[in-house]
């Protein structure tokens, strides 16, 4: 025979366990939702990162100079995305980026170099959680 006291005691214990599970689940879920919103808010458009310098104007950009830059940007995004999926380390990523930049020698010293450097910094942090210092970013352009 079950008494009311026993019934209420078990009911309270089960409610405490239930709410503990709910709080733990939603704490993780809410944390992931908030971090996702934060990442979306921090994500920048590629063009805004590439062309945030004041010396890059529309008049300076024509189809012949922009085609290699767009190819480089596409390859950089694919490389960093793949590196993020594979969990590549910082040294491996920097050597891969250095080889890729070597394929486009016309961008070194051009008006696009600073923008591409900014893009590398942003996408490496976003996709791979790898942060490059300013010296490391400048070293990527050295041959």
pLDDT in tens, 33-62: 766 655 555 555 555 555 554 444 444 555
| Rounded Cα–Cα distance for residues 120 and 124 (Å) | 6
**What was the pLDDT predicted at 16?**
96
pLDDT in tens, 14-40: 999 998 888 787 777 767 776 665 555
**What was the pLDDT predicted at 87?**
87
Mean pLDDT of the chain: 79
Contact 84, 127 (CB under 8 A): yes
* 120, HSE (Cβ side, Cα atoms, 13 Å): 27
Q: pTM of the full predicted structure?
A: 0.55
Share of the chain above pLDDT 90, in %: 11
**What was the pLDDT predicted at 58?**
45
8 alpha carbon, distance to own chain's centre: 51
The larger pLDDT score, comparing residue 104 to residue 50, is at: 104
> Residue 3: which residues within 8 A CB-CB, separation 6 or more?
none
**What was the pLDDT predicted at 103?**
87
Averaged pLDDT for residues 111-138 = 87
Cβ atoms < 10 Å from Cβ of 97: 22
| Rounded Cα–Cα distance for residues 70 and 94 (Å) | 20
* 80, HSE (Cβ side, Cα atoms, 13 Å): 22
**What was the pLDDT predicted at 60?**
52
The larger pLDDT score, comparing residue 8 to residue 135, is at: 8
């Amino acid at each position: 025979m079950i008494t009311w006291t026993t019934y209420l005691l078990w009911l309270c214990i089960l409610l405490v366990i239930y709410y503990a599970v709910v709080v733990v689940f939603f704490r993780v879920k809410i944390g992931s939702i908030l971090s996702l919103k934060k990442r979306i808010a921090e994500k920048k458009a590629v063009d805004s990162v590439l062309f945030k310098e004041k010396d890059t104007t529309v008049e300076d950009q024509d189809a012949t100079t922009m085609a290699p830059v767009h190819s480089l940007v596409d390859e950089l995004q694919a490389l960093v995305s793949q590196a993020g999926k594979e969990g590549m380390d910082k040294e491996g990523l920097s050597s891969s980026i250095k080889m890729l930049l070597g394929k486009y020698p016309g961008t070194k010293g051009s008006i696009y170099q600073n923008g591409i450097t900014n893009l590398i910094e942003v996408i490496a942090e976003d996709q791979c959680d790898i942060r490059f210092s300013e010296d490391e970013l400048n070293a990527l352009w050295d041959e």
